[in-house]
Amino acid sequence: MDLLDCRLRIHSRGKTTRSLYFEAGKTLGGLAYGFRESNWDWYLEYAYHHWFTNDSEILRLIRELELTDKLIIKRPITASLYKGKPYQLDSPMNLFAFPGLSMIDKFRTAALLAFLKITPFGNRLKIPQLNTC
C-alpha cells in the first residue's frame, strides 16, 4: 500500500519522471498483493486486511485513483472464539452478553472503548509514520 502511494506521488510530479523499483518477491504489492484464479472476477488479497471507514488516508488514495465507484463497504461480523464458541464482540450489547469477562471487566472495557471513541486527542494516540516518498 505504501509502495502504491509512493508510486502515485512520484508519478504525479510529472510525466517525465522515471522510477525504478526493486522487488525481492515474485509479485509487486507486498502484503497488499492480490491474486486471482482464472475463473474469478475479482482479486483476493493475499494477506487479509481491514480498514476503518473513518480512515481518511485510504479514502483519499481511493479517490485519487478514481476508484470510489468500485468501493463496496459492508459491515463484517467481528467475533472472538471463547471456549470453542464464536461470540460477536462489536457492540455494547454483545460485550455485556459475552460470558468470558466479569461484570467489572465489561464496565472497564466499555469505559475504555467509550473514551477512545470520543476523545478529541485520538491523533496523539497514533504511531507517527515516516514519510518515505
Ligand X SMILES: Cc1cc2nc3c(=O)[nH]c(=O)nc-3n(C[C@H](O)[C@H](O)[C@H](O)COP(=O)(O)OP(=O)(O)OC[C@H]3O[C@@H](n4cnc5c(N)ncnc54)[C@H](O)[C@@H]3O)c2cc1C
- Enumerate binding residues for ligand X (CB under 6 A): 1-3, 22-25, 30-32, 49-51
**Residue 54 is placed in which grid cell?**
473513518
What minimum distance in Å lies between the beta carbon of 123 and ligand X? 17
Minimum Å gap between C-beta 39 and ligand X is 26
Rounded to 5°, angle at Cα 40 from 39 and 44: 145
d(CA 115, CA 117): 5
Give the separation between CA 117 and CA 111, rounded to whole angstroms: 10
The distance of closest approach from Cβ of residue 97 to ligand X in the complex, given in angstroms and rounded to an integer, is 26
Distance CA 22, CA 10 (A): 15
Please identify, using beta-carbon distances, which residue of 29 and 106 lies nearer to ligand X: 29
Closest approach of Cβ 132 to ligand X, in Å?
Answer: 8
CB nearer to ligand X: pick between 22 and 40: 22
Q: Which is nearer to ligand X, 25 or 99 (CB)?
A: 25
Angle between helix axes 56-64 and 2-12 (nearest 10 degrees) is: 50
| Residue in the shown chain whose Cβ atom is closest to ligand X | 30
Comparing CB distances to ligand X, the nearer of 3 and 10 is 3
**Rg of the chain (C-alpha set):** 20
